[in-house]
Amino acid sequence: RPPRGPTAMPKTETGINHVPMLGGIASAKAVKLSEINSKCEFALRSLTDNYPDTERLTFDQQKAEAAAYQANNTASCPMLTTLAQARGITIEDLAVRVLEKAAAFSKASGALIGTRQKFEDTLDGCTSIQAVESIFVDYAL
């Protein structure tokens, strides 16, 4: 006979997804948190939508090489050297551009992530379904 009470396993949906079924305020909070997170993810992705996925994979390397170059202009910067040559600009100019874009991304993503965390804090403090549903989730820079 299965255990009952607080030690019992939560009921689950039938089928492939075995997601605990939530009711009342817990359900409302789960739905709202999903909205908070998905809208934040959309806003964050919009910051880099103009770049191909494979180029985005090089951002950390570009930033590291740009910082290394600015600290020591004899530092090895294979990625930046090749990019600068292909673009017909100096590595000095490219290093400045890379670091400016990285700083702008950090500022914008920090604002979006901070807003997401504020929504989550507000959600955590909700004690009624009405309070949860009154949270208007919007991300703007």
What pLDDT score was predicted for residue 118? 98
pLDDT digit string (tens) for 81-96? 999 999 999 999 999 9
Q: How many CB atoms lie within 10 A of CB 68?
A: 16
* Residue 98's pLDDT band (cuts 50, 70, 90): very high
pLDDT digit string (tens) for 32-60? 999 999 999 999 999 999 999 999 999 99
Q: On the CB side of 13, how many CA atoms lie within 13 Å of its CA?
A: 9
Longest dimension (CA), the chain: 75
Distance CA 72, CA 82 (A): 18
Class of residue 28 by CB neighbours under 10 A (exposed 0-12, middle 13-18, buried 19+): buried
